[in-house]
Amino acid sequence: MEFIPVLKLDELPAESSKIVKAGNKKIALFHYNNKITALGNACLHRGGPLGIGHVKACYDGLYVSCPWHGWEYNIQTGSAAPGYEDQQSVYEVKIDDNQILISSEPVIQAKKAFHDSPLLDDLKNLRYQTSPTSLNILGISATNMHKDLPRFSTSEDALEKSLAFATEQLGAETRMIKLRDLEFRHCEGYYSQHMQACNWPCSITEMNPEDGMTKVYADMILWADIVVMATPIRWGQASSLYYKMAERLNTVQNQITLKNKILVKNKVAAFIITGGQDNIQQVAGQMMCFFTDLGFAFPPFSFMGWSRGWTAEDMDKNVMQFKKSDYVVRASKELMENTVETLKQLKRMNPDKITAPKPRKNDSWSSEIENPDQNY
């Protein structure tokens, strides 16, 4: 077999790793325990650069963790961590004088195991459950409370009123997601490693389909025609649970950046915002900005709010007055009427004609500059 010189030996000190090029391949070289080993640099998951991953002793040997999402490979055998079937490609290494050479072809071929569940497969292949006539309304409640101590939530109550009206009077199919009931991880910022590290479906969901956001992705992206987002006001903002969910929706918006692929088309969003003190318009504005970046459209008067104002610190009377309010009952219905009417109009639009005037990866001034550490 042919061997290719790739690096001087003294350029790879003990306890270090480096990415080198052999022909048109990028190889991760490791120098640990007085031995030099070589693996394919592109992680089998999404192509993260293994040569700049962290190496540590664990399981039955030395393993490198991919810097993108943490898949692990034995740096000698290329095998994945115990319990996984993946096999990274391994190259033979020779030392000649002060020169490191590696085989031109791998001596062990890469093999990616099958990881997908049926739901992941639906997400990956965007098997939408909407139709030209469907009226699927998803309510998402972002209020937080301890599940063993449930209390009355004004935002959730208004959402329940809206959904009940939509079911009974407008013939909608409705579902409700209570974010507090879902166990889901925070966005872990893979995008900051590389735009390709944040892909669809979300890497966290892909690594763990049991993660609670899988339900949000499936219901919001595949099933819903309308999303009604309900949140309390917390320090003038939507709740922290809302933001936890919103950060995990980066995966949806990022498809536009990466592939000019719009996942959300012909869907409408509306909002319910309640708080003891005010800031309703600010919260609505922030949420509308985010949802329009996902691709949602809005009805006229796209949110309803409830607040008793800046001095209303007598919170014990908030629920009491909310429950007596005719306005809440009326607004919960009117919000849905406007939203459903807007959806009917929107369904007449040709989704193929919807474009996203957003930055794409090639719009960056530095897009032509190569980063030698990365595989893309």
Alpha helices (runs of H) in the chain, residue ranges in sequence order = 118-124, 154-170, 203-207, 213-217, 240-248, 250-259, 280-294, 318-324, 326-346
Judged by CB under 6 A, the residue of 20, 62, 64, 66 near ligand FES is: 66
Contact of 161 with 337, CB cutoff 8 Å: no
Stretch that binds ligand FES, among 46-54, 264-272, 326-334, 343-351 (CB under 6 A): 46-54
Q: How far apart are CA 129 and CA 333, in angstroms?
A: 25
Determine if 48 is a binding residue for ligand FES (CB under 6 A): yes
Minimum CB distance to ligand FES, residue 319 (Å): 46
Beta strands across the sheet bearing 54-58: 54-58, 61-65, 72-74
Closest distance of CB 369 from ligand FES, Å: 21
Nearest to 242 by CA among 273, 201, 214: 273
| 45 near ligand FES, rule: CB under 6 A | yes
Q: Which 165-204 positions form the footprint of ligand FES (CB under 6 A)?
A: 203
- Residue range at the interface with ligand FES (CB under 6 A); choices 16-24, 33-41, 62-70, 79-87: 62-70
CB of 201 vs ligand FES, minimal distance in Å? 13
- d(CA 116, CA 104) in angstroms, rounded, equals 32
Q: Minimum CB separation from ligand FES for residue 47, in Å?
A: 6
- Using CB under 6 A, pick the residue from 30, 71, 91, 296 that binds ligand FES: 71
Distance of CA 59 to the CA centre of its chain: 30
Of 30, 32, 63, 68, which one interacts with ligand FES (CB under 6 A)?
A: 68
Please, are residues 174 and 225 in contact by the beta-carbon 8 Å criterion? no
Residue 109 CB contacts under 8 Å (≥ 6 apart), including other chains: 87, 89
Closest approach of ligand FES to the CB of residue 185, in Å = 15
Give dist(CA 252, CA 298) in Å, integer. 18
DSSP state of 12: S
**Which position among 7, 28, 29, 43 is part of the footprint of ligand FES (CB under 6 A)?**
43
Q: Which of 4, 9, 70, 354 binds ligand FES (CB under 6 A)?
A: 70
Query: Is position 69 an interface residue for ligand FES (rule: CB under 6 A)?
Result: yes
Of 18, 25, 31, 46, which lies in the binding site for ligand FES, with binding defined by CB under 6 A? 46
Instruction: List residues binding ligand FES (CB under 6 A).
Output: 43, 45-48, 66, 68-71, 203
